[in-house]
């Protein structure tokens, strides 16, 4: 029964490739960055992020031996690869919308940033209620830390609260810079400042509480740049496609190995070291991860130039990626060996295959309900 978890790998391959179309020599998936394709891709990687978190809860190296069960090790160290896909698509999509939709920045904050903040707080309140129900002991200040978002009741929501800062930087720069080049420059500058802050912040219970807050955010800026220069980039990729693909795959293999070595040698953790030393260590780890993740994301999009994906499962998942991202962790914790290391879980499912199935079966309808919840709009008369 324990070995059934390995069925997840062919199952994921089927979900990705069912209905796919492969293009032959000198043929291309011209819409590989279209909305339908990127949504399908994001839907698939939302599933992979779930497997990443399941792996962290079942077979990560830091877990106690009595709860460590093999099967999902592949997913444990590469969650930042998967998040990179989302961030690339976000940066790419914002720039394309800005260039193609008239008055796109009008109402941008209300349409693009506020919904993310609402989703963040809604998921946080749900997690806070469940924390109390499963028996977490907290005093009044702690309760308000969670309620305010100063500390994350939903640890899985970091991505959704980090993203609005990049959206806001995009909005302000493209709104007030007269030249597009300056707008892009200020987006890059914001990225550098965000990462610099992250490198100086120790692991903690507050915001930017670890390297996962900043080790993949560069993809937002890369997506922005790609969108601006795709007219020059894509023809070049087509002319030398095989060379780029082979080099990138080989580079991914070696750079990922180098990244794992670098993290083991330097480590992101340096809270007891001098500031200059721990920042250097984190920077070395970050650079190694940037190289590896860049190769992964580039490989994915190179492959989509030749393989058009799309089926009902991916299309559906593409409609609930945000909600699934925010809510699936609730069930990862409710059926794991404990609840966020602060209380007993609802029911510990030791069999990893069954655990995976239960989390997925619960997370999908919960994501649909959560989407309905955060999509509620007051009637016009009430608003007025």
Q: What's the total number of domains in the chain?
A: 1
Q: How many CA atoms lie within 13 A of 175 on its CB side?
A: 12
Q: How many CB atoms lie within 10 A of CB 266?
A: 19
**Structure confidence by residue, pLDDT tens digits, 93-114:** 999 999 999 999 999 999 999 9
Mean pLDDT of the region 134-138: 92
User: Considering only CA atoms, which of 128, 105, 238, 126 is closest in space to residue 183?
Assistant: 105
**What percentage of residues in the chain have a pLDDT greater than 90?**
89
pLDDT at 4 over 50: yes
Percent of the chain surpassing pLDDT 70: 97
Q: What is the DSSP string of 332-370?
A: HHHTSSSBTTTB--S-----HHHHHHHHHHHHHHHHHHH
Give per-residue pLDDT as tens, 234-275.
Answer: 999 999 999 999 999 999 999 999 999 999 999 999 887 887
Q: What is the pLDDT of residue 382?
A: 36
DSSP 34-89: SHHHHHHHHHHHHHHHHHHHHHHHHT-TTS-GGG---S-GGGGGGHHHHHHHHHHH
Asked whether residue 346 carries a pLDDT value surpassing 70, the answer given is yes
pLDDT tens string 56-81: 999 999 999 999 999 999 999 999 99
Token pair listed for 377: 């709009």
pTM over 0.75: yes
pLDDT of res. 1: 64
Residue 340 has pLDDT above 70, yes or no: yes
Cβ-count burial of 374 within 10 angstroms (0-12 exposed, 13-18 middle, 19+ buried)? middle
Residue 63 has what pLDDT? 93
State which residues form the domain around 106. 2-383
Say what the pLDDT of residue 381 is: 42
Mean pLDDT for all residues in the chain = 93
């Amino acid at each position: 029964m324990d070995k059934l978890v390995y069925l997840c790998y062919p199952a994921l391959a089927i979900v990705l490739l069912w209905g796919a179309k492969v293009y032959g020599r000198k043929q291309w998936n011209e819409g590989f960055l279209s909305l339908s394709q990127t949504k399908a891709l994001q839907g698939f990687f939302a599933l992979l992020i779930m497997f990443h978190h399941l792996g962290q809860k079942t077979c990560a190296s830091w877990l106690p031996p009595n709860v460590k069960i093999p099967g999902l090790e592949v997913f444990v160290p590469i969650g930042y690869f998967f998040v990179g896909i989302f961030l690339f698509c976000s940066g790419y999509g914002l720039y394309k919308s800005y260039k193609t939709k008239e008055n796109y920045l009008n109402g941008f904050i209300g349409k693009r940033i506020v919904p993310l903040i609402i989703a963040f707080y809604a998921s946080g309140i749900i997690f806070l209620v469940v924390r109390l129900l499963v028996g977490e002991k907290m005093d009044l200040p702690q309760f308000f830390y969670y309620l305010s978002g100063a500390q994350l009741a939903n640890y899985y929501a970091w991505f959704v609260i980090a993203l609005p800062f990049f959206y806001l930087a995009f909005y302000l720069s493209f709104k007030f810079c007269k030249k597009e080049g300056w707008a892009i420059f200020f987006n890059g500058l914001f990225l550098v400042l965000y990462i610099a802050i992250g490198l100086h912040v120790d692991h903690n219970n507050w915001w930017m509480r670890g390297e996962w807050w900043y080790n993949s955010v560069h993809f937002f800026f890369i997506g922005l740049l790609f969108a601006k220069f795709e007219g020059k980039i894509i023809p070049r990729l087509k002319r030398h496609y095989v060379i780029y693909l082979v080099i990138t795959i080989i580079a991914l293999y070696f750079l990922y190995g180098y990244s794992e070595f670098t993290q083991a040698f330097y480590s992101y953790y340096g809270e007891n070291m001098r500031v200059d030393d721990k920042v250097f260590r984190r920077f070395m780890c970050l650079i190694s991860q940037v190289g590896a993740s860049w190769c992964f994301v580039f490989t994915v999009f190179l492959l989509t130039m030749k393989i058009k994906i799309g089926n009902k499962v991916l299309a559906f998942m593409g409609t609930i990626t945000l909600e699934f991202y925010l809510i699936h962790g609730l069930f990862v914790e409710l059926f794991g060996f404990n609840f966020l290391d602060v209380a007993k879980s609802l029911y510990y499912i030791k069999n990893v295959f069954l655990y995976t199935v239960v989390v997925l079966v619960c997370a999908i309808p919960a994501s649909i309900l959560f989407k309905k919840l955060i999509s509620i709009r007051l009637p016009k008369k009430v608003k007025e």
